[in-house]
Chains A and B, each alone.
Chain A
Amino acid sequence: MRAYTPKNDVQKKSYYTDRYWVAPQVAKSKVEDDAVFAADLKAIEDAKFKVLDSYIQVEQMVVYINPEDNVGVLEVLKNECGYTQLSELSAIDWIADRGGFEVFYQMLSMSKRKRLRVKCFIKEDQAIESVEKLFRSADWAEREMFDMFGIKVNNHPFLKRILMPDDWEGHPLRKTYPLQGDEFAAWYEVDKIFGKEARDIIGPEIRDTARVDRYDTERFARLGHEIPKGSEFDPDKEKTPLAYQEDEGVFLIEGFDEDKSQIVSDRKR
């Protein structure tokens, strides 16, 4: 039976997975094992924020909180725990599995030499509060998150696309977005530069750069069988003699004469 492929995750899948394969886990340890992280976690809990889950993985603490607490928790971490820098902020698409996104805030404390990650889960159409008031670095990071995932950020000073064009449709890092781009992407430049009426003349953008159409006389010349650019070509009807273009021949090179040439059928000759 063919394996079921979810429609809301169109990314590349492994072509073969052993049916008894069980993926191992990266080791997680308890927060209590590290005194510094334990104190940070206590500071968050003391400020009456609910911590849904917390653990240490690869030397960094991960804290799951409710999405409406994000500004409050980051404020506590910044002002009380010394996490003065927000190094990174982005999201993970879990629409196919859980119907939403996981937003993560990667923080750094220079005084403690510790890094931690605050995570919260939001539904697909749920907005999240901006942390730009606390960290200016969130300005661009939130714009990128909006651009790539379509997550709306409330009270952001300038929520606009940052990497994609302003009039782009769709959010490229979602798992539902096809790797080759969608219908809109294929026609974007044609529509924008020449207008929709030019679609028939130009054709969609070819995103597979390795694709070579032998009979495409627009982009490729068939070596030795040159015909005018853009002309229709049917290999059955039309005979294009194999010949050099130069009529007078090339200096020091003997001209090729098809009649005198010999086709070798026996390769071991």
Chain B
Amino acid sequence: MQHKNRLRPFFENITFDRDDNELVLNFGPQHPSSHGQLRLMLHLQQEQIVKAHPDVGYLHRGMEKMAENMIYNEFMPTTDRMDYIASSSNNYGFALAVEKLIGLEVPRRAKVIRMMILEINRLMSHLFWLATTALDIGAMTVFLYAFREREYLMDIIEGYCGARLTHAAIRIGGVPLDIQDTFIHDLKVFLNKLPQNMKDYEDLLDTNRIWLMRMEDVGVISTDMALSWCCTGPMLRASGVEWDIRKEEPYELYDEVEFKVPVSDKGDNYARYKLYMAEMRESAKILYQTIDMYAETVKNNQTELMAHAPQYISAPKLNIMTQNYSLMQHFVLVTQGMRPPVGEVYVATESPKGELGYFINSQGGPYPYRLKLRAPSFWHTGILTDLLPGHYIPDVVSIIGTTNIVFGEVDR
């Protein structure tokens, strides 16, 4: 029998007004496995979670508000800061939305270069996912391997646009530059080595007992749940829905390349892991095809990189420097900004994380009247509310890992 008021612990701010064994655990916001600033309020019965409340907003920068006060081209580098693991895919989604709004046709070579950049970004994102998730679960070697390969890709991108993480490599109406001389060679070196690298990762993980115990039958998302929470990308495909926007609503030249959409009906962590690996192989396949497509544009002498629309897009640099009217046009477009027509558009693209959508309401001014960023990770974080109950504390880490959330995108 304890003496009252003697051995009773005293904690500030905590009142013990519960009779049951439920413990409220505060997970994050600073936690190495929360992949950013995620705070989870977990209600526990012993080790089992009975209720979960994800709390987000620690990285909220008000991008939608910023967009309403910026000209369209000015907002492009801001989109980099959403999914900063694959920032060109954000650039691309925005560029495509504005192009649809003003009805632009992008030159073929620009399309090919965009596809190359997008798929490199997908590979970078998936490698990063593999590295961090494996590290969360304790596989240090895979982390080092995958980061090494990601570094090669970042070098290629750095050679193209000068930046490693925040690329801003895509413009409204095309791409700013042609690829550098070493691009194709470096990419081929990387792609030729990729199958062996992938085999290394899979040899380390596929039959690893710890990996399997943490992944198999953990975090099972049923098809209904995935649809109801509007999961997209690998999160949806792992739950048995074959839906890839690149395939279903093709943009750029995705209808000209051959690739498969990997699907699994298991819905657990392991299925998602397998999908990420399969998608990397498909991306490599697409990249091989784009290399050929690029060679074709060189052969056909299709050198244009930006769409020709003087009302919206500045002329090429050579014209600006030599022709007076192009210079005037450029001056107006830079100081005042382009004025897209009055209307609304919602454009969805398949970013590495899922459906990245841009909703733009334009009232004919140089600033968008309303811009809504539909980031896949937002809903992939929300689903934790329904997904975590029933799981145990160690599963939280692996589930957060396989949802592949990035907080630049959740909080925007």
Contacts and interface: CB of A to CB of B under 8 A. Distances in A.
Interface of A: 11-17, 21, 23-26, 28, 57-58, 60, 62, 84-88, 90, 92-93, 104, 106, 108, 110, 113, 115, 117, 135-137, 139-140, 144, 148, 161-165, 172-173, 177, 179
B28 to A, nearest CB: 15
A141 to B, nearest CB: 8
Nearest to B241: A110
Contacts of A113: 248-249
Contacts of A144: 378
A84 B227 CA distance: 7
A87 B249 contact: no
B394 interface: no
Contacts of B345: 26, 57-58
A14 B230 contact: no
Nearest to A14: B366
Nearest to A104: B359
B365 interface: yes
B266 interface: no
A23 B341 CA distance: 6
Contact of A24 (B60, B337, B341, B382): B341
B260 interface: no
A115 B346 contact: yes
A161 B58 CA distance: 12
Contacts of B230: 85-87, 135, 137
Contacts of B366: 14
A248 to B, nearest CB: 42
A16 B65 contact: no
A87 B342 contact: no
B361 to A, nearest CB: 6
Given A135-B230, A139-B385, A179-B65, A26 B336 contact: no
Which among A84, A135, A137 has the highest number of chain B CB atoms within 10 Å?
A137
Contacts of B233: none
Interface string B63-107: 011001100000000000000000000000000000011010000
B57 interface: yes
Contact of A179 (B60, B69, B103): B69
- The dominant DSSP class at the A interface is loop
A216 B241 CA distance: 60
Contacts of A161: 57
A85 B341 contact: no
A106 B357 contact: yes
Interface residues of B, number: 55
28 contacts: A11-B68, A12-B69, A14-B337, A14-B366, A17-B365, A24-B341, A25-B342, A58-B100, A58-B344, A58-B346, A62-B344, A86-B230, A87-B230, A87-B357, A88-B372, A92-B369, A92-B370, A106-B357, A110-B241, A115-B346, A117-B344, A136-B228, A136-B383, A137-B228, A137-B230, A137-B382, A172-B62, A179-B69
A267 to B, nearest CB: 29
A57 B344 contact: yes
A115 B100 CA distance: 15
B56 to A, nearest CB: 6
Which among B64, B228, B249, B348 has the highest number of chain A CB atoms within 10 Å?
B228
Nearest to B374: A88
A47 B168 CA distance: 47
Contact of B56 (A104, A115, A135, A162): A162
A162 B57 contact: yes
Given A11-B68, A12-B367, A115-B348, A23 B342 contact: yes
A117 B359 CA distance: 11
A189 B282 CA distance: 48
Interface string B181-220: 0000000000000000000000000000000000000000
B67 to A, nearest CB: 10
A13 B339 CA distance: 13
B292 interface: no
B48 interface: no
B364 A136 contact: no
A173 B357 contact: no
Which among B56, B57, B346, B374 has the highest number of chain A CB atoms within 10 Å?
B346
B409 interface: no
A211 B364 CA distance: 32
Contacts of A11: 68-69, 367
